[in-house]
Structure 1
Amino acid sequence: MAWRTMEVADQRIRFVVAASRGESSLTELCKEFEISRPTGYLWLKRYRAGGVSGVAELSRRPHRSPERTAESIERRIAELRRERPDWGARKLAVLLGQEGIAIPAATVHRVLLRQGLVRLEDRHRPALRRFEREHPNQLWQMDHKSPKGWNQSVGPLSIVDDASRYVIALDGLGTTRGEAVQQRLEAAFITCGMPEAMLMDHGIPWWNGQSAGGWTQLSIWLMQLGIRLYFSGIRHPQTQGKVERFHGALEMARRRRGLPEPELRQAWLDAFRHEYNHLRPHEALGMKTPASRWHKSNKPYDPNPPAWQYPTDAVVQCLEPSGQLKLDGRRWQVCGPLAGQPVQLVRIEQRVLVFYRSTLLRELDLASQGSAMAEP
């Protein structure tokens, strides 16, 4: 599930929880969540029918396409493209208009895609809407670059601020061990302050596909610091667009400038990070530099954060040493790395939502005796 989609689902789940607990009237809750009453009723209906997965954003793609472009027009578009292979959809739409065929450029582009007439480098159209944070330090994106060309098992670790594109850290750790990454993150938190949230992919050391829920000691440490975690869609790196774009610039520099000897590699990375942040203008920032848009976070790093306080009326239970939860006469696997930690149980009819701090870990279905991981 892409991080932006998870934000939508997260909002809806919190609405359902608040409504089930009777914290406020439905009218007041709808006003608080900035939705209409019919929308609120719809979210509740979807949750009752399908649980957490039922409130996720549904595809708006129509089941049928009654207005699909006529075959004769599609053939003409293909003919023009072959006559002028270097012309894009906008230019071809002008030609079609001169022939009396009024058709939007977006439709021409879709026809070219269906016909296999779009070059690989032109296949991804620029997004009409950028999903990004408004202010620095609301979200940091983190990833390891591909090791190709770096003569190491893993490429540099990059941390990029979503709003400003400022590179918080760029380090050739040479490893994906959680301890090494945590040490580098601590240094970043001390220097730059704390972000509100972080976005990563489903890779080590912040994700473990072999463990229940996928959580690792590193991701739990980040949650304990009060950072909300999001994970990009599996095999969809575009949801980490800022850090991927930075990696593209870094790869271009590696190819054209070359890398120094291994002992000088970190100095080379430091120089590139300074250039990228302070000297290189960025088109998405109106040709401003990332450093001109970024500022240190107002939230300082606290290595010993205070204990989390669940609501006074919350149902709280500690996980067993195996990471299991004993409930209704059976044991449910929740999260091994959280063994012994207190979790909050929110019961909604025949389902139980298991939260660690503010993060939903798992959904238990008491009726079917099944459980589902709450995919972050």
Structure 2
Amino acid sequence: KLILQERKDHPRWGARKLLASLSARFHMIQKWPHPSTVGRILKQNNLINPPKRRIRKQCSEQPFSNALGPNDIWCADFKGHFTVGDGKRCTPFTVTDAYSRFLLCCEIVPKADTTNVINEFMKLFKLYGMPLAIRTDNGTPFASNALAGLSKLSVWWIKLGIKLERIEPGKPQQNGRHERMHKTLKEETALPPRSSLETQQKAFRDFQKEFNYLRPHEGIQNSFPANHYQKSKRKLPKRIVKASYPTNIMIGEINDIGNLHIEGHRIFLSSALADEEVGLEEISDRHVKIHFYGVSLGVIDLYTGKLLHFKNPMQSSLPSESGF
């Protein structure tokens, strides 16, 4: 009765504020219910206000940034697989620099999975340094259907301080330069396919050299990508340090299957976050925002235990150390 009356007297107050007010005035009551229990009491009595729309607005697409210099954005994708002359499957993986058009990688990988892509990016980061952002589609292993589209690969990029840019499903034109390169790559190296994976890889290497150093590109005043590209000053760190959050941010530990335990709720975030730590920011009496290194992933409703998924990681306003 005290809780309901207090809520009626202060209809904008949430569970935590109601409990703080009541416990300060009624010292004789030693044990008060948990905030989530208060939330259920309010809900049962139709005293819950609907969530404010401003929380849901954070789910909107992040605008793409413009590449103003080399290594601002790298574009990565798989060129559709095909069969070479001896019957073996060929899966080309490609990476370009969006500003210069420089073709950084054109390698056949055994399988289009996380391990092989990380191996290729490790080589690229050691050779060229790291970009500010990486633009991909929403396919495996770049993204998933989990919280904020996280995958093991994208979690690794976030921990390195690399911004994620994802094109919208069914809109390859948002990665148009890379798609045009793929068209040229296919025309010049795979029509028809070479006799083996070895000869096909040689054709890719020859194409890469020509594309970067010998082929004029109209988009860069008919000059060569190599004339506009230089290595990044952002080096791959020897080890990735834990994220650092402000003192008002609570640390949440994710278990080995991707669950977070908070205020009596067990909430599945993502298996890609297994054994990681997240920052939990209280943004209202009822809502907690999930931060991971330099991005925000979603919002937890502490009354219901429901998770509001962000479609993509959102750049966080919190100061954080990532990757160094």
Per-residue Cα deviation, 1:148-186 (whole angstroms, up to 9, x for no partner): 465655531000111111111110113112212111111
- Offset at residue 285 of structure 1 (A): 0.8
2:81 corresponds in structure 1 to 147
The residue correspondences of 1:131-170 to structure 2 (distance < 5 A) are 132-148=66-82, 153=89, 155-170=91-106
Give the alignment's TM-score, normalised by structure 1.
0.63
- Determine the C-alpha separation between the residues in 2 that align with 1:234 and 1:359: 22
- Tell me whether 1:192 sits opposite 2:196 in the alignment: no
Give the alignment's TM-score, normalised by structure 2.
0.72
Instruction: Check the 8 A contact 1:260/1:268 in 2, yes or no.
Output: no
Alignment identity in percent?
25
Q: 2:163 aligns with which of 222, 228, 234?
A: 228
Per-residue Cα deviation, 1:8-61 (whole angstroms, up to 9, x for no partner): xxxxxxxxxxxxxxxxxxxxxxxxxxxxxxxxxxxxxxx932424367379xxx
In 2 relative to 1, CA 298–278 (structure 1 residues): closer, same or farther, beyond 3 Å? same
Q: Which structure ranks higher in relative contact order (CA pairs < 8 Å, sequence separation ≥ 6)?
A: 2
Instruction: Check the 8 A contact 1:334/1:362 in 2, yes or no.
Output: no
- Offset at residue 135 of structure 1 (A): 0.8
The residue correspondences of 1:14-33 to structure 2 (distance < 5 A) are none
- Offset at residue 248 of structure 1 (A): 1.2
In 2 relative to 1, CA 240–300 (structure 1 residues): closer, same or farther, beyond 3 Å? same
- Offset at residue 331 of structure 1 (A): 1.7
1:208 corresponds in structure 2 to 144
Equivalent residue pairs, number: 258
The residue correspondences of 1:5-20 to structure 2 (distance < 5 A) are none
Superposed CA RMSD: 2.5
- Determine the C-alpha separation between the residues in 1 that align with 2:297 and 2:90: 29
1:19 corresponds in structure 2 to none
- Tell me whether 1:333 sits opposite 2:268 in the alignment: yes
- Determine the C-alpha separation between the residues in 2 that align with 1:367 and 1:242: 47
Instruction: Check the 8 A contact 1:259/1:265 in 2, yes or no.
Output: yes
1:267 corresponds in structure 2 to 202
Aligned-partner residue type, residue 133 of structure 1 = A
- Determine the C-alpha separation between the residues in 1 that align with 2:192 and 2:66: 31
2:7 corresponds in structure 1 to none
Per-residue Cα deviation, 1:65-108 (whole angstroms, up to 9, x for no partner): xxxxxxxxxxxxxxxxxxxxxxxxxxxxxxxxxxxxxxxxxxxx
- Tell me whether 1:250 sits opposite 2:185 in the alignment: yes
Aligned-partner residue type, residue 75 of structure 2 = Q
The residue correspondences of 1:1-376 to structure 2 (distance < 5 A) are 48-53=52-57, 56=60, 132-148=66-82, 153=89, 155-209=91-145, 211-254=146-189, 259-349=194-284, 350-366=286-302, 369-376=305-312
Instruction: Check the 8 A contact 1:144/1:154 in 2, yes or no.
Output: no
Deviates more, 1:271-280 or 1:145-154: 145-154
Q: Quick check: which one's helix share is greater?
A: 1
- Offset at residue 200 of structure 1 (A): 1.3
